Structure 1
Amino acid sequence: MPSRRHFFGRCAGLAALGASGQALADSARYRSFHAALERDARLGVYADFAGELTGEATVLGRLPRDLSGVFYRNGPGRFELGGERYHHGFDGDGFAQRWAIADGKVAHRGRFVATHKFEQESRAGRFLYSAFGTSIDRAPVRSNDVVNVANTNLLPFNGAVYALWEGGSATELDPETLATRGIKTWRPDLKAMPFSAHPKADPDGGLWNFGNLPGADQLIVYRLDARGAVTRTALLPVPHLNMVHDFVVSARHLVFLVPPYALDQPGKSLAERLRWQGGERPLRAVVVDKATLTVRQVFELPARSVFHLGNAWDDGACIRLDAVLHQGDIVPEPALPMRGEMRPYQAQRSSAVQITLDLASGQAREARLFGVSEFPRVAPQVVARRHRKLLVLGVSPASAAQVLDSVNLVDTDSGQVDGYRFGPGWQVEEHVLVPRAGAGTETDGYVVGVAQDTRRSQTVLTVFDARNVKDGPVALARLGYRAPVCFHGNFLAT
């Protein structure tokens, strides 16, 4: 059984993200953003939001008859309070969204996750606690869940829905109304332990997940059964562990990619404390044996940063996995639009790759799959198994805006791409593969996602035939309003 005291005692902790003795006083950032927003409609997706949303979407085209379910999404919604503005795009309080698809219609609902932080700051009328990229020291912080923003993913699991964040507990929501039910403690001895935002499904209906706090040099690994009971946990030593956002599972292994960051001393926000050391350290692939929950092997790759991985499978003595790797430090990039700067998307220095980890030789190699990209996903029925299709967002070479504007289904064997570009004025969010009932192939179903029409300030649900993405959406469900941008989500078929 892992020791909570040992885990928290060795980490810098998100409970002390940037406690510096100085409070945020950044009305200048607030003014500069709003001045830039008047000139550039693309910044609207980074604007603040207030209140709840409910509405019926106007459907253009025809929704497939066999597409029925709920697309749950989550992302930051509140960036400003009391005339001040957060410094980083990862800081905003979580705004959960629910897209219900049935009988050719689409209904939308959105509301803030009522975390401790959100409720306390709403009553105070100003920010009280530090966030990932903004240092604030106005109220005491006794645990990482005090600063939990629940803003990264929305996971339907075992009849409930959970808002997930990087460094704290899951927060349970009502699946229909999205009302906040409260912090989820999976087991009493795991209270307040971080439960990360990218759990992976097992074929038996259970989940794998992990937790990480900066400076701990330990990962905690969880195995939950289909009823949500914790069946296995372990603390894994990983030296120089700072930021791990995602991981992949195969039939026999868990794999974590650890980018080359060092952690400066407290006094700034976590984003400011993460110091890129690409010239001194490699990108590491940490392989964990699922049978023993111990670190089996560590591979070194050329220094890159990484947020998201796709899928992994075991191929004899090798593990093959997909990831989007970025050249250099990408942590500062989401801070730019928060002060009103729209620069070319840094993913022009990124690529989706397939990594092969040879357990026998200890060597790692890469094969490029796609260029400028992010948010890799695979069909849910092939998680932890051999897959041949990788879904990624892309940046069109001719795009002057250099924002994510295309949806692409990549054949990992042939390299062929079936893709669609939305065109100027659009910013595309993560898309997912939704299989038909009894699907025989990875493309037997639909690609479902969300895009922001920045020219009309409207949010749109998109549906593609997964067998033919290049011909464009078979249906668009357009809201009459703009909903906050989301990071991640999952489709629950009904």
Structure 2
Amino acid sequence: MNGRRKFLSRGIGLAALGLCSGAAWADSETYRRFHQALDHDPRLLAYAGTEGELRGDAAIHGSMPDDLRGVFYRNGPGRFELGGERYHHWFDGDGYVQRWQIGGGKVAHRGRFVATQKYTEETAAGQFLYPAFGTYIDRRPVKSNDTINVANTNLVPFGGHVYALWEGGSAIEVDPQTLETRGIKTWRPDLKSMPFSAHPKSDPDGGLWNFGNMPGANKLAIYRLDAAGQVARTALIDVPQLNMVHDFAVSARHLIFLVPPYDMKPGPELSYGESLRWAGDTRPLRVVVIAKDTLRLRQVFELPARSVFHFGNAFEDGACTRLDVVLHQGDTLSQLGTMMRGEIQPFRDGSSTVQLTLDYAAGQAREARLFGASEFPRVAPQVVSVRHRRLAVLGVAPGTPDDIFNTVNLIDTDSGKADSYRFDAGWVAEEHVLVPRRGARSETDGYLVGVAQDTRRRQTVMTVFDAHNIKAGPRAMARLSYASPPCIHGNFLAA
């Protein structure tokens, strides 16, 4: 597929983000309500944001494994207010990338903002200028998707480079050591400013699969990069009533997307996030399966209406495909906005981690529950797209008063049993990832590495569990003397 005309125009890319005329401003009232609540709720400190670079050596508690060496890269929103105004949604914040350097029994931390066009211009102006996911602002015109790229969702090492990723625009390269911003990565000239999702999936040959979500055009863009970072294949898939698609799963023969039932209804003074209206009473959750060999739609399945953020893994099982995914009852997007005004909503008990079986011959999707209230599923990197038997998730311990993520769990997908650890009161867990030992012989031959916020001491802590014994608790904790912004996603790069 050659040329922009055969792929996509930048105009369609802007439509995909729901950018239209209007002016719903970040406001001082949200700012006032948040800071009033912050005086009474230390958990909100994580969502106050930060102002600049953070650097420090962590204090080690416990026994840091000698063979755990490398960098744990993380990314998430870090700036939510400027000039006395505050954003309306967590997803709006400017990207703040972090690296935890691990080796020789020591851990060093560093964090800094991604110097996107948006961040740089708004810093110079002393006020927000451009629209964000949940807050529409039109003080300055938007010329392309990358004008408003916040680079705030994932930090992915690939091919000797490190990329900060967002939903709606280009990858942005940062220096692997200093995290200094190197600039926008354009994979091919005709793909400039195209949406490149924050959830690429690795392939056994060292390449990547990824997609771009374009709900304004009702199309999914498919990318296949080889190990050298060259675009090997692209395709456009028509998906009617396309909306919020954040993640996908990759098996040996398929790419699988779940499309929740939202309607997109743009209007004046509405951000993209505010234009998404839940339509679960009229439409199902759709499972869209694309064949890898042809990059064409193979089949669409239907499930009861639920919303989706994250997948675990997918693999072929005879004539079927099986995959892990976290499903949520109803609309979850608005829930992530309330913390911007100082209200932490309980995590709904209506979520669950399930394994789906896609039966192509019968045209049916079967569902088996694996775990209760949960999110951020991850598998060991060596089993991506093939049969796996362990799935890491965050969870909410039964009886937790405020229903925050306070457990890490490693689920046996065959038996449904979970090896779990619960953090102390006042701790909030972030995503944890499985890190195999060199030459690992099983999915539990290694470590579960993640981050948690000790809100009572206002400190951020990196945690290391033995993957074969999560319930024993962290074998090592690397505690910073300060709190860094919570992240959404990250990846471990072994030394």
Query: How far apart in 2 are the matches of 1:169 and 1:13?
Result: 16
Provide the rounded CA distance (Å) in 2 between the counterparts of 1:393 and 1:161.
Answer: 25
- The number of residues matched between the two structures is 492
Instruction: Give, in whole Å, the separation in 1 of the partners of 2:265 and 2:456.
Output: 41
Distance 1:44 1:296, change over 3 A: same
Residues 310-344 of structure 1: per-residue CA shift (max 9 Å, x gap): 00001111000000000000010111111011221
Structure 1 equivalent of residue 281 of structure 2: 279
Is 1:77 aligned to 2:78, yes or no?
A: yes
Q: TM-score, length-normalised on structure 2?
A: 0.98
Counterpart in 2 of 1:317? 319
Match of 1:304 among 298, 303, 306: 306
CA contact (8 A) 1:12 1:216 kept: no
**d(CA) in 2 for partners of 1:195, 1:10:** 14
Give distance in 1, aligned partners of 2:309 and 2:170.
Answer: 20
Matched ranges for 1:206-245 at <5 A: 206-245=207-246
SS at match of 1:28: helix
* Partner Cα distance (1:94, 1:445) in 2: 30
Q: Tell me if structure 2 keeps the 8 A contact 1:11–1:217.
A: no
**Is 1:7–2:4 an aligned residue pair?**
no
Q: Say whether the 8 Å CA contact 2:447–2:466 is kept in structure 1.
A: yes
Q: How does 1:394-413 map to 2 (within 5 A)?
A: 394-413=395-414
Cα distance in 1 for residues equivalent to 2:417 and 2:17: 46
Name 1:326's counterpart in structure 2. 328
SS in 1 for 2:39: helix
**Number of the residue aligned with 1:350:** 351
The 3 A distance-change label for structure 1 pair 279 and 25 is closer
From the superposition, tell whether residues 200 and 64 of structure 1 become closer, same or farther in structure 2 (CA, over 3 Å): same
Q: Deviations over 1:321-378 (max 9, x none)?
A: 00000000001011111101122112x1100000000011111110000000000000
Contact 1:18–1:130 (CA under 8 A) maintained in structure 2: no
Q: What's the counterpart of residue 290 of structure 2?
A: 288
Once residues 37 and 19 of structure 2 are traced to their aligned partners in structure 1, the CA distance between those partners, rounded to angstroms, is 29
Q: Is the 8 A contact 1:443 1:466 kept in 2?
A: yes
Tell me how far apart the structure 2 counterparts of residues 450 and 313 of structure 1 sit (CA, whole Å). 28
Give yes or no for contact 1:15–1:141 (8 Å, CA) kept in 2.
Answer: no
Deviation at residue 389 of structure 1 after TM alignment: 0.4
Q: Is the 8 Å Cα contact of residues 16 and 141 (structure 1) preserved in structure 2?
A: no
In 2, Cα distance between equivalents of 1:278 and 1:72: 36
Say which is worse superposed, 441-450 or 334-343, in terms of deviation. 334-343
Aligned residue for 1:90, secondary structure, equals helix
Q: Give the share of equivalent positions with the same residue, in percent.
A: 67
Task: Note the alpha carbon deviations across 1:70-101, whole angstroms, 9 max, x for none.
Answer: 00000000000000000001000000000000
Tell me the distance in 1 between the aligned counterparts of 2:246 and 2:266.
Answer: 21
Aligned to 1:455: 456
**SS class of match (1:325):** strand
Give the CA deviation at 1:399: 1.0
Structure 1 letter corresponding to 2:317: D
Distance 1:460 1:44 in 2: 15
Separation in 2, partners of 1:256, 1:158 = 26
Per the TM alignment, residue 15 of structure 1 is displaced from its structure 2 partner at its CA by 5.7
Task: Give the CA deviation at 1:10.
Answer: 4.7
Aligned with 2:8: secondary structure?
Answer: helix
Aligned to 1:260: 261
Note the residue ranges of structure 1 that are not aligned, 5 or more in a row.
none
Q: Determine if contact 2:26/2:87 at 8 Å carries over to the other structure.
A: no
Hey, what's the Cα distance between the residues in 2 that align with 1:324 and 1:2? Answer: 37
1:460 & 1:18 partners in 2: Cα distance?
41
Which SS does the other structure have where 2:172 is aligned?
strand
2:223 counterpart letter in structure 1: Y
State the match for 2:112 in structure 1.
Answer: 111
Taking the aligned partners of 2:252 and 2:146, their CA distance within structure 1 comes to 32
Match in the other structure for 1:89:
90
Specify the alignment match of 2:32 in structure 1. Answer: 31
How far has the Cα of 1:17 moved from its partner? Answer: 3.2
Q: How does 1:406-485 map to 2 (within 5 A)?
A: 406-485=407-486
Deviation at 1:386, TM superposition (A): 0.3
1:215 Cα deviation after fit: 1.7
User: What is the distance in 2 between the residues matched to 1:241 and 1:279?
Assistant: 17
Counterpart-to-counterpart distance in 1, 2:461 and 2:232: 40
Deviation of the 1:247 alpha carbon: 0.3
For 1:308, give the aligned amino acid. H
RMSD: 1.2
Contact 1:19–1:130 at 8 Å: present in 2 too?
no
Contact 2:290 2:298 in 1 (8 A): yes
1:154-233 alignment to 2 at 5 Å? 154-233=155-234
Alignment partner of 1:13: what SS?
Answer: helix
- CA deviation after TM superposition for structure 1 residue 280, in Å: 0.7
User: Which amino acid in the other structure matches residue 471 of structure 1?
Assistant: A
Q: Deviations over 1:230-251 (max 9, x none)?
A: 1000011111111100001000
Amino acid at match of 1:44: L
Asked whether the equivalents of residues 253 and 292 of structure 2 are also in contact (C-alpha less than 8 Å), the reply is: yes
Cα distance 1:462–1:93, how it changes in 2: closer, same or farther (>3 A)? same
* Alignment partners' CA distance in 2, 1:355 and 1:448: 27
Partner Cα distance (2:400, 2:371) in 1: 16
Give the letter for the 1:388 counterpart.
Answer: R
- In the superposition, relative to structure 1, how do residues 251 and 33 fare at CA in structure 2: closer, same or farther (>3 Å)? same
On the 8 A contact 1:92/1:149 being kept in 2, the answer is yes
Q: State whether residues 2 and 234 of structure 1, in contact with CA within 8 Å, keep that contact through their aligned partners in structure 2.
A: no
| Deviation for aligned residue 1:131 | 0.3
- Mark the runs of 5 or more structure 2 residues left unpaired by the alignment: none
Separation in structure 1 between the aligned mates of residue 422 and residue 4 of structure 2, nearest angstrom: 47
Asked whether the equivalents of residues 7 and 218 of structure 1 are also in contact (C-alpha less than 8 Å), the reply is: no
**1:122-148 CA-partner distances (Å, limit 9, x unpaired):** 000000001000010100101010000
- 2:56 matched residue in structure 1: 55
